A = this chain, B = another copy of it.
Amino acid sequence: MGVKKHILVIPGDGIGPEVTTWGKAVLEKIGADFGHEFIFNEALMGHAGIEATGNPLPDETLEKAKASDAILFGAIGHIKYDNDPSAKVRPEQGLLKIRKELGLYANLRPIMLFDELLDASSLKPEILKGTDILFFRELTGDVYFGEKKRSEDRNTASDLMIYHRYEVERIATKAFEAARVRGKRLCSVDKANVLEASRLWREVVQELAKQYPDVETEHMFIDNAAMQLVKNPKKFDVVLTANLFGDILTDEASQIAGSMGMLASASIGDGTGFFEPIHGSAHDIAGQDKANPLASILSVALMLEISFGLKDEAKKITAAIDKTLKDGYRTGDIADANTDKTKILGTKAMGQKVLD
């Protein structure tokens, strides 16, 4: 039986609009094929929100977000603000605020490895082969949301790295539950040899681990984890970490999947689920039909599976991507020396291939 769902599309900045177009197109196709009714709405955020309303997260966007069943997001950020450290209003504030307002405390980032892309990575294929990691990045706490200060003479700046027990508990619980139905290994990453917030983190995870005797729990310092991820990615199953460390590790891990253009993420928590590629706004290639739409399409697969429980539909999408890659088609970011030059596609052609 078909479901009826309201989906909010927030294209955002840079390559965001180009890639979400294809995520949406795939949703429409799935709806038609499987008899689901997906009702779309659109809203502004980030630089696009600032341009239109002066606000990186317009009130209207937040209302629409709360009223929808799931959100498909593109990307955020603008070079203008990156180079102006004194700007008061910034695109990224929109993303941080919506994460907080929707209570999206758990950011899931699966590192999927399409066999066809083994050679697209800078890592050796034998190091990569068999890697399958699921990151749980805490998303509404840490130094991201702690108090920010700038002294009056502007010579001193600070951000408070802060965690509360309940914040660690709820994300850690989700990670343990996931580990239980996956490889039964959980690696919690922190910097407990230096940071008090990490020591609280480690305490909570140690306590919780007692309730999951079937899961093998390990604690690793962030510096070591950043190293091990390159040295031997296969050793990881579920990785649990704080907001800042998760930001860094998952971007690093994108090289495992060949390219950032291949990675999707799901943010879940108290309310509406939020699905987005890991890649950023990439202004250098925006509007040039060069962006890889696969991360947005994979975000849609995550949405179907996690928010709507539609596993077959999600599988259909990953299978379509797999087939497209097997047929030799690539966007520029995942092409390598062996790629047939005639099969290097732009955003639109790649989106269309998957659709077909």
Residues on A facing B (Cβ under 8 Å): 77, 81-83, 85-86, 90, 92, 96, 122-124, 127, 143-144, 146, 148-150, 154-166, 191-203, 206, 219, 221-224, 226-227, 229-232, 244-245, 247-252, 254-255, 260, 280
Contacts and interface: CB of A to CB of B under 8 A. Distances in A.
Contacts of A219: 82-83
A130 to B, nearest CB: 14
5 contacts: A82-B219, A85-B202, A96-B194, A122-B123, A122-B231
B203 A231 contact: no
A227 B255 contact: yes
Contacts of A148: 195-196
Given A122-B230, A227-B255, A194 B85 contact: no
Contacts of A143: 143, 161, 194-195
Nearest to A280: B224
Contact of A252 (B150, B245, B252): B252
Contacts of A191: 244, 247
A223 B109 CA distance: 14
A254 B224 CA distance: 10
Contacts of A161: 143, 158-161
Given A90-B193, A150-B200, A230-B255, 13 more contacts: A81-B193, A85-B200, A122-B124, A123-B124, A148-B195, A150-B196, A156-B165, A158-B162, A223-B250, A223-B251, A226-B248, A227-B251, A227-B252
A193 B82 contact: yes
Contacts of A230: 122-123, 230, 252, 255
Nearest to A226: B252
B260 A149 contact: no
Nearest to A76: B193
Given A83-B219, A164-B156, A232 B195 contact: no
A159 B158 CA distance: 10
B122 A196 contact: no
Contacts of A202: 85
